[in-house]
């Protein structure tokens, strides 16, 4: 049996160290694994037609999912060592996921070390998650953020 570390009240929304509690995980039951792209420059409208974000440029992405989707962790990639900054906003609940932006180069997870959310996050029905990403590099940066989880 896997034992998870306790959650601390002073922590924010997500963590690289602390995982969801056993009670949170039990509610997942036999749901299907699920992933969706939260940010990718090639998916954006508004004239951005390349697969990279310019030096220190900011762009927004968004994603709407069907009912019954849950996010458990985030994974990001950056072609530049400087990384990027990510903020996620839930339009239905009108709330930011974290009060401070998530800095990729030292916080946001990779495939080897995912960025686990402190609590499993049920996506809003008819809502939208908006991602604002800022390239921290002084060169073009190919950035992608994927939300992983499960769905009914």
pLDDT for position 28: 63
pLDDT for position 132: 92
In a domain, 45, yes or no: yes
In a domain, 67, yes or no: yes
pLDDT tens-place string over residues 85-142? 999 898 888 888 877 787 876 556 666 777 778 788 888 777 788 899 999 999 998 8
pLDDT for position 73: 84
In a domain, 25, yes or no: no
pLDDT for position 96: 87
Q: Long-range CB contacts (< 8 A, 24+ apart) of 19-27?
A: 19/116, 20/72, 20/116, 20/117, 20/118, 20/119, 20/120, 24/119, 24/120, 25/120, 27/120
What CATH number does residue 69 fall under? 2.60.120.230
Does the model's pTM come out above 0.75? Answer: no
In a domain, 59, yes or no: yes
- Residue 7: pLDDT band by 50, 70, 90 thresholds? very low
In a domain, 109, yes or no: yes
CA distances from 37 to 2, 40, 44, 129 (A): 29, 7, 12, 11
pLDDT for position 127: 75
In a domain, 39, yes or no: yes
Q: What are the structure tokens assigned to 55, written together?
A: 């030096």
In a domain, 26, yes or no: no
pLDDT tens-place string over residues 23-67? 766 766 677 788 888 888 876 655 555 678 889 999 988 888 877
In a domain, 20, yes or no: no
Pick the closest to residue 121 from 4, 24, 2 (CA basis).
Answer: 24
pLDDT for position 102: 79
Q: How many domains does the chain have?
A: 1
pLDDT for position 4: 35
Domain housing 49: 32-151
- Residue 19: pLDDT band by 50, 70, 90 thresholds? low
Q: What are the structure tokens assigned to 124, written together?
A: 């809003």
pLDDT for position 8: 38
């Amino acid at each position: 049996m896997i034992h998870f570390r306790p959650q601390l009240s002073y922590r924010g929304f997500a963590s690289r160290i602390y995982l969801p509690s056993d009670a949170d995980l039990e509610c997942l039951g036999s749901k299907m694994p699920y992933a969706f792209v939260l940010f990718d420059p090639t998916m954006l409208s508004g004239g951005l037609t390349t697969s990279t974000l310019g030096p220190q440029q900011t762009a927004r992405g968004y994603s709407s999912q069907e009912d019954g989707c849950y996010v458990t962790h985030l994974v990001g990639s950056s072609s530049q060592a400087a990384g990027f900054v990510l903020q996620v906003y839930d339009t239905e609940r009108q709330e930011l996921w974290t009060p401070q932006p998530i800095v990729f180069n030292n916080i946001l997870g990779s495939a080897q070390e995912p960025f686990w959310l402190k609590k499993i996050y049920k996506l809003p029905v008819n809502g939208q998650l908006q991602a604002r990403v800022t390239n921290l590099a002084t060169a073009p940066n190919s950035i992608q953020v994927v939300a992983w989880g499960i769905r009914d």
